Structure 1
Amino acid sequence: MRHVTRITPGLPAGAYKTYQIVQPLATHFRPATCEEVACGAHAHGWRTLVDETAELGQRQAHYIRRQSGRRFVEQRTPEGLTAFTFEPGQRCFGRHQQPLERDPLYFVRGGDWRGNPLGGRPYQHRRGDDWVEDFAEHQDRISRQIERG
């Protein structure tokens, strides 16, 4: 998981609103083939190094040799690893996704990344223009409050 550096907020989480646009994998994407996403491994082939001295490496090598159904050349490296070199034109081991032509979901939630201590339910705008207008009005309210001191 990627580490996120955040600025420590000056107010409690309940003083904030979060405006969010999301495209969940489950509803806005579908599985795709290597060809559809111009997968480099599919186009040019790839090499997988496996350490068969470890249990995981043994399982990986067994899968590649007996179950993957892919064409490869097997070699030992000077470091004692097993190198599987796969020729181009076959499905890679990755999982590819292709976006569906669906509008994203537009949410306004109470709180910030620390949570929603006031417990309000998220509001979902039906149209992106409404979400933008809500955001602009919220920014305007903040600006006016700052001007007043």
Structure 2
Amino acid sequence: MRRVNRIMPAMPAQAYKTYQIVQPLATHFRAATCEEVACGAHERGWRTLVDETVELGQRQAHYIRRLAGRRFVEERTAEGLTAFTFEPGQRCFQQHQQPLEREPFYFVRGGDWRGNPTRVAPFKHRRGDDWVEDFAGHQDRLARQIERG
């Protein structure tokens, strides 16, 4: 996992709020077809390279040959890999998602990345405009406190 480099904030965590716009996959997206998302693999075909000298590659090759139900041409590369070339017009292996026409969730949480020491429960705004107004007001209060020292 990549380490995040954060600048230490000027004030304690309780002086901050975290503003978050959330669109969970479970409630704001649905499964989509290759055609719906203009999938390049579906439109132009694609090539999958598999290393059958390792267990994962063996399982992948087995799936492609026996279970995938897709049309392909199989060949060996100079590097000893198995190349599966899939023709256009068939479903790729990706699970595409399409956003639903649904308003995101607008949350305001106490604290920042260091935590929520005041244990203030998250607040969910009903409208994006209210969230923006809350955000702007909080930024203004912080700026004034920093100016005062």
TM-score range, shorter chain: over 0.9
Two-structure CA RMSD over aligned residues (Å): 1.5
Q: TM-score, normalised by structure 1?
A: 0.93
Q: Which amino acid in structure 1 is aligned with residue 81 of structure 2? A: L
In the alignment, which residue of structure 2 is the partner of 1:133? Answer: 133
In the alignment, which residue of structure 2 is the partner of 1:93? Answer: 93
Length, aligned pairs only = 149
Q: Which amino acid in structure 2 is aligned with residue 39 of structure 1? A: C
Cα distance in 2 between the residues matched to 1:114 and 1:53:
45
Q: Which amino acid in structure 2 is aligned with residue 97 of structure 1? A: Q
In the alignment, which residue of structure 1 is the partner of 2:29? Answer: 29
Structure 1 residue 39 corresponds to structure 2 residue 25: no
Cα distance in 1 between the residues matched to 2:85 and 2:95:
19
Tell me, what secondary structure is at the counterpart of 2:70? coil
In the alignment, which residue of structure 2 is the partner of 1:113? Answer: 113
Cα distance in 2 between the residues matched to 1:3 and 1:43:
38
List 4+ stretches of structure 1 deviating above 6 A: none
Cα distance in 2 between the residues matched to 1:148 and 1:2:
37
Cα distance in 2 between the residues matched to 1:47 and 1:105:
39
Structure 1: tracts of 5 or more residues without a match: none
In the alignment, which residue of structure 1 is the partner of 2:48? Answer: 48
Cα distance in 2 between the residues matched to 1:37 and 1:11:
45
Cα distance in 1 between the residues matched to 2:35 and 2:47:
19
Deviates more, 1:86-95 or 1:105-114: 105-114
Cα distance in 2 between the residues matched to 1:143 and 1:13:
15
Tell me, what secondary structure is at the counterpart of 2:138? helix
Deviates more, 1:116-125 or 1:62-71: 116-125
Cα distance in 2 between the residues matched to 1:87 and 1:107:
45
In the alignment, which residue of structure 2 is the partner of 1:103? Answer: 103
Tell me, what secondary structure is at the counterpart of 1:83? strand
In the alignment, which residue of structure 1 is the partner of 2:123? Answer: 123
Cα distance change of structure 1 residues 26 and 108 upon mapping to structure 2, 3 Å threshold: same
Tell me, what secondary structure is at the counterpart of 2:94? coil
Structure 2: tracts of 5 or more residues without a match: none
How far the C-alpha of 1:2 sits from its partner, in A, is 6.0
Tell me, what secondary structure is at the counterpart of 1:107? strand
Cα distance in 2 between the residues matched to 1:42 and 1:8:
46
